[in-house]
């Protein structure tokens, strides 16, 4: 097990930022760590990386206790904090050489730097000062230093913050690729990103874990109603549509589309099709809807 957390707690006076949480993450798993602001995400990540002591509980990274064997544990960790602290007066390649020295990469320094510059799209920026880069490129430098020593565990706090849409796609693909043979824990407020990258999701709220499952399983938890959207070529009214069997609720959407709700998981698309056929209505659209991960997040953290 790459990460093993048991009964982890962090207190600031009377406030529990992290409240008795336990979870584990396997090698080759990408874990999305979600929660509203102040939920305890960054605090948990700081504890896992040895930058913040816990009040109670334990955390092991690659079998090393992050409290009693912190230096050995940190050798296995690549960390991108939310604040992404960098030396702005250093050139990009100079900064990475400095970090390589800290990790004692020796003769591997040049090849690893070249590899990370290529992986993060920084090759053309290598001779620029870090302070001259845009926020998105600074974020790439942070990612490059986190991966530089080829750690077994990557802990990334908001890794795609400040990236443009094209950069987002590239970094998502990189995280997915890294997750094939490493353990990746990343936090994000972008639900589409989590769905695209994470094998599993933990949602934390007010210091407690409120969900731990795959995105598909989390969505199925609240999909206890059948939602169907339909569009008709001819004008229809709610009164006419209420004749469809098995429909509990009807809402007119923007663009003239209609959303039908049926209690339970009964598929009402056949009833809608038969209704349209009998009424000689032309169906332009008919498809089943499902709740998004964003809806799951709202329900679990509201």
Distance CA 287, CA 258 (A): 11
Degrees, nearest 5: CA angle 181-141-87: 135
Q: Residue 41 has which token pair?
A: 């995400």
CA atoms within 13 A on the CB side of 72: 9
- Torsion angle of the four alpha carbons 232, 234, 240, 245, in this order, in degrees rounded to the nearest 10: -30
What is the radius of gyration, based on Cα positions, of the chain?
24
Q: CB neighbours of 114 closer than 8 A, spacing ≥ 6?
A: 123
Q: Tell me the percentage of the chain whose pLDDT exceeds 90.
A: 67
Q: Which of 129, 186, 131, 130 is nearest to 157 (CA)?
A: 186
Closest CA to 70 of 86, 53, 45: 53
How is residue 115 written in tokens? 């590899």
Report how far residue 34's alpha carbon sits from residue 299's, in angstroms, rounded to the nearest whole number. 13
CA dist., res. 69 & res. 91, Å (int):
33
Give the start-to-end residue ranges of the domains of the chain. 3-217, 220-301
For 169, phi and psi rounded to 5 degrees? -60, -45
Q: In the CATH scheme, what is the code of domain 220-301?
A: 3.30.70.100
Instruction: State residue 256's pLDDT score.
Output: 80
What single string gives the DSSP state of each residue in 214-243? -HHHHHHHH--EEEEEEEESS---HHHHTT
**Which fold, 3-217?**
Rossmann fold (3.40.50)
183 sits in which H/E element? strand 183-187
Pairing of strands 30-34, 183-187: parallel
CA 278 to CA 260: how far, in whole Å?
Answer: 18
Q: Which residue has the tokens 């089943």?
A: 288
User: Do 3-217 and 220-301 fold alike per CATH?
Assistant: no
Element (H, E) at 209: strand 208-213
Which two structure tokens, joined as six digits, stand for 216?
Answer: 């598909």
Q: In what order do the strands lie in the sheet with 249-252?
A: 249-252, 258-263, 225-232, 283-289
Q: In a structure prediction context, what are the per-residue pLDDT tens digits for the chain, which is 302 residues long?
A: 799 999 999 999 999 999 999 999 999 999 999 999 889 999 999 999 999 999 999 999 999 999 999 999 999 999 999 889 999 999 999 999 999 999 999 999 999 999 999 989 899 999 999 999 998 899 999 999 999 999 999 999 998 887 888 888 888 888 888 888 899 999 988 888 888 899 999 999 999 999 999 888 887 766 666 788 999 999 999 999 999 988 888 999 877 899 988 866 678 899 999 999 999 999 999 988 776 788 788 878 87
Model confidence, pTM: 0.80
- Pair 286, 257: CB distance under 8 Å: no
Contacts of 55 (CB under 8 A, 6+ apart): 9, 10, 11
């Amino acid at each position: 097990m790459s990460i093993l957390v048991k009964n982890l707690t962090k207190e600031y006076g009377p406030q529990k930022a992290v409240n008795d949480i336990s979870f584990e993450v396997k090698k080759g798993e990408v874990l999305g760590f979600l929660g509203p602001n102040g939920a305890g995400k960054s605090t948990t990540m700081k504890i896992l990386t040895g930058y913040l002591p816990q009040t109670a509980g334990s955390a092991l990274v690659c079998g090393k206790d992050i409290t009693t064997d912190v230096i050995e544990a940190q050798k296995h960790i690549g960390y991108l904090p939310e604040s992404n602290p960098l030396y702005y007066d250093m050139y990009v390649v100079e900064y990475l050489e400095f970090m390589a020295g800290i990790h004692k990469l020796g003769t591997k320094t040049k090849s690893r730097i070249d590899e990370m510059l290529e992986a993060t799209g920084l090759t053309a920026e290598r001779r620029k000062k870090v302070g001259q880069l845009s926020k998105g490129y600074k974020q790439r430098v942070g990612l490059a230093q986190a991966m530089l020593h080829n750690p077994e565990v990557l802990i990334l706090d908001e890794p795609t913050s400040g990236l443009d849409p094209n950069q987002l796609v590239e970094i998502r693909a990189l995280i997915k690729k890294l997750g094939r043979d490493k353990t990746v824990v990343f936090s994000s407020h972008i639900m589409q990103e989590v769905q695209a990258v994470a094998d599993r999701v933990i949602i934390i709220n007010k210091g407690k874990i409120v969900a731990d499952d795959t995105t598909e399983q989390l969505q199925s938890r609240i999909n206890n109603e059948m939602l169907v959207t339909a569009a008709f070529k001819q004008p229809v009214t709610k009164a006419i549509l209420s004749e469809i069997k098995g429909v509990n609720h009807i809402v007119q959407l923007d663009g003239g589309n209609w959303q039908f709700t049926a209690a339970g998981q009964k598929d009402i698309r056949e009833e809608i099709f038969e209704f349209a056929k009998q009424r000689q209505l032309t169906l332009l659209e008919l498809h089943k809807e499902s709740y998004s991960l964003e809806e799951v997040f709202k329900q679990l953290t509201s």
